[in-house]
Amino acid sequence: MRICLFPGTFDPITLGHTDVINRGLDLFDRLVVGIGVNSSKTPMFALEERIAWIKEIYKDDPRVEVASYSGLTIDFCKQLGARFILRGIRYVSDFEYEKAIADVNRTIAPGIETIFLTTVPQYSSIASTLVRDIHRYGGDVAPFLPEVVMEGIKRIKQ
Protein backbone atom coordinates (compact mmCIF):
# COMPACT_ATOMS: atom_id res chain seq x y z
CA MET A 1 0.00 0.00 0.00
CA ARG A 2 1.33 3.44 -0.99
CA ILE A 3 0.86 5.62 2.10
CA CYS A 4 1.66 9.31 1.83
CA LEU A 5 1.86 12.10 4.39
CA PHE A 6 0.91 15.63 3.36
CA PRO A 7 2.26 17.72 6.26
CA GLY A 8 1.50 21.33 7.09
CA THR A 9 -0.22 23.61 9.55
CA PHE A 10 -3.31 24.09 7.36
CA ASP A 11 -4.14 27.29 9.22
CA PRO A 12 -6.52 27.33 7.37
CA ILE A 13 -6.67 24.68 4.65
CA THR A 14 -6.95 26.51 1.31
CA LEU A 15 -8.05 25.63 -2.21
CA GLY A 16 -4.36 25.29 -3.02
CA HIS A 17 -4.02 22.58 -0.38
CA THR A 18 -7.12 20.73 -1.55
CA ASP A 19 -5.88 20.88 -5.14
CA VAL A 20 -2.63 19.16 -4.11
CA ILE A 21 -4.51 16.59 -2.01
CA ASN A 22 -6.97 15.82 -4.79
CA ARG A 23 -4.22 15.31 -7.35
CA GLY A 24 -2.18 13.31 -4.84
CA LEU A 25 -5.04 10.85 -4.50
CA ASP A 26 -4.28 9.68 -8.05
CA LEU A 27 -0.80 8.68 -6.86
CA PHE A 28 -1.36 7.08 -3.45
CA ASP A 29 -3.63 4.50 -1.85
CA ARG A 30 -3.88 6.40 1.44
CA LEU A 31 -3.14 10.06 2.05
CA VAL A 32 -2.73 11.35 5.60
CA VAL A 33 -3.09 15.08 6.03
CA GLY A 34 -0.75 15.69 8.96
CA ILE A 35 -1.28 18.86 10.93
CA GLY A 36 2.02 19.73 12.53
CA VAL A 37 1.81 21.23 16.00
CA ASN A 38 4.62 23.64 16.77
CA SER A 39 4.65 24.98 20.33
CA SER A 40 6.48 28.13 19.21
CA LYS A 41 3.67 29.10 16.82
CA THR A 42 0.21 30.33 17.72
CA PRO A 43 -2.25 29.38 14.99
CA MET A 44 -5.24 31.57 14.15
CA PHE A 45 -7.61 28.60 14.06
CA ALA A 46 -7.82 25.89 16.71
CA LEU A 47 -6.37 22.49 15.90
CA GLU A 48 -9.78 20.86 16.46
CA GLU A 49 -11.37 23.26 13.95
CA ARG A 50 -8.71 22.55 11.31
CA ILE A 51 -9.11 18.80 11.80
CA ALA A 52 -12.91 19.10 11.54
CA TRP A 53 -12.67 21.11 8.31
CA ILE A 54 -10.43 18.56 6.63
CA LYS A 55 -12.57 15.65 7.80
CA GLU A 56 -15.67 17.37 6.45
CA ILE A 57 -14.07 18.16 3.09
CA TYR A 58 -13.00 14.53 2.63
CA LYS A 59 -15.84 12.77 4.48
CA ASP A 60 -16.76 10.82 1.34
CA ASP A 61 -13.23 9.64 0.54
CA PRO A 62 -11.92 6.96 2.89
CA ARG A 63 -8.45 7.27 1.37
CA VAL A 64 -7.96 10.63 3.13
CA GLU A 65 -7.24 10.73 6.85
CA VAL A 66 -6.26 13.61 9.09
CA ALA A 67 -4.04 13.50 12.16
CA SER A 68 -2.01 15.91 14.23
CA TYR A 69 1.57 15.39 15.29
CA SER A 70 4.49 17.14 16.93
CA GLY A 71 8.16 16.56 16.40
CA LEU A 72 9.92 15.63 13.20
CA THR A 73 7.76 15.01 10.16
CA ILE A 74 10.03 12.14 9.15
CA ASP A 75 9.38 10.43 12.51
CA PHE A 76 5.63 10.78 11.97
CA CYS A 77 6.04 9.17 8.53
CA LYS A 78 7.75 6.21 10.15
CA GLN A 79 4.97 5.96 12.74
CA LEU A 80 2.36 5.90 9.94
CA GLY A 81 4.30 3.51 7.76
CA ALA A 82 4.30 6.21 5.06
CA ARG A 83 6.93 5.87 2.35
CA PHE A 84 6.09 9.23 0.77
CA ILE A 85 5.84 12.88 1.76
CA LEU A 86 3.78 15.12 -0.51
CA ARG A 87 4.64 18.80 -0.85
CA GLY A 88 3.00 21.50 -2.95
CA ILE A 89 5.25 23.91 -4.82
CA ARG A 90 4.04 27.38 -5.84
CA TYR A 91 7.27 29.15 -6.76
CA VAL A 92 10.96 28.44 -7.25
CA SER A 93 11.61 29.70 -3.72
CA ASP A 94 9.24 27.00 -2.39
CA PHE A 95 11.21 24.37 -4.29
CA GLU A 96 14.55 25.52 -2.89
CA TYR A 97 13.24 25.42 0.68
CA GLU A 98 11.39 22.12 0.25
CA LYS A 99 14.32 20.46 -1.54
CA ALA A 100 16.62 21.27 1.39
CA ILE A 101 14.15 19.62 3.78
CA ALA A 102 13.73 16.64 1.43
CA ASP A 103 17.50 16.17 1.25
CA VAL A 104 17.81 16.15 5.05
CA ASN A 105 14.86 13.75 5.34
CA ARG A 106 16.43 11.43 2.75
CA THR A 107 19.62 11.37 4.83
CA ILE A 108 17.68 10.52 7.99
CA ALA A 109 15.32 8.03 6.31
CA PRO A 110 16.48 6.92 2.84
CA GLY A 111 13.35 4.82 2.34
CA ILE A 112 11.00 7.82 2.47
CA GLU A 113 10.66 9.78 -0.74
CA THR A 114 9.41 13.37 -1.10
CA ILE A 115 7.08 14.02 -4.01
CA PHE A 116 6.58 17.57 -5.27
CA LEU A 117 3.42 18.67 -7.06
CA THR A 118 3.29 22.13 -8.55
CA THR A 119 0.12 24.07 -7.92
CA VAL A 120 -2.17 24.92 -10.78
CA PRO A 121 -1.71 28.57 -11.82
CA GLN A 122 -5.03 29.74 -10.36
CA TYR A 123 -3.88 28.69 -6.87
CA SER A 124 -0.19 29.61 -7.04
CA SER A 125 -0.63 32.85 -5.10
CA ILE A 126 -2.70 31.33 -2.29
CA ALA A 127 -0.89 30.97 1.01
CA SER A 128 -2.43 30.42 4.43
CA THR A 129 -0.39 33.34 5.76
CA LEU A 130 -1.93 35.71 3.21
CA VAL A 131 -5.40 34.31 3.85
CA ARG A 132 -5.00 34.87 7.60
CA ASP A 133 -3.88 38.47 7.00
CA ILE A 134 -6.82 39.19 4.70
CA HIS A 135 -9.19 37.64 7.23
CA ARG A 136 -7.61 39.47 10.17
CA TYR A 137 -8.26 42.82 8.49
CA GLY A 138 -11.82 42.02 7.42
CA GLY A 139 -11.18 41.17 3.77
CA ASP A 140 -13.03 38.58 1.73
CA VAL A 141 -11.22 35.22 1.88
CA ALA A 142 -13.96 33.27 0.05
CA PRO A 143 -12.01 33.02 -3.25
CA PHE A 144 -9.21 31.13 -1.47
CA LEU A 145 -11.02 28.68 0.81
CA PRO A 146 -13.25 25.61 0.57
CA GLU A 147 -16.90 26.36 1.42
CA VAL A 148 -16.78 24.32 4.64
CA VAL A 149 -13.93 26.50 5.91
CA MET A 150 -15.86 29.67 5.03
CA GLU A 151 -18.84 28.36 6.99
CA GLY A 152 -16.59 27.57 9.95
CA ILE A 153 -15.02 31.02 9.89
CA LYS A 154 -18.47 32.64 9.82
CA ARG A 155 -19.48 30.57 12.87
CA ILE A 156 -16.31 31.59 14.72
CA LYS A 157 -17.03 35.29 14.06
CA GLN A 158 -20.50 35.10 15.62
Residue 71 labelled as part of a binding site: no
Phi then psi for residue 108, to 5 deg, are -70, -40
pTM: 0.94
User: Binding residue per annotation — 87?
Assistant: yes
> Chunked in runs of 10, what are the mean pLDDT values of the chain (158 residues)?
96 96 97 92 92 98 97 96 96 92 97 96 88 92 94 78
CB neighbour list of residue 127: distance below 8 Å, 6 or more residues apart: 14, 16, 90
Residues marked as catalytic: 17, 41, 90, 128
Total domains present in the chain: 1
Task: Find the CATH number of the domain harbouring 12.
Answer: 3.40.50.620
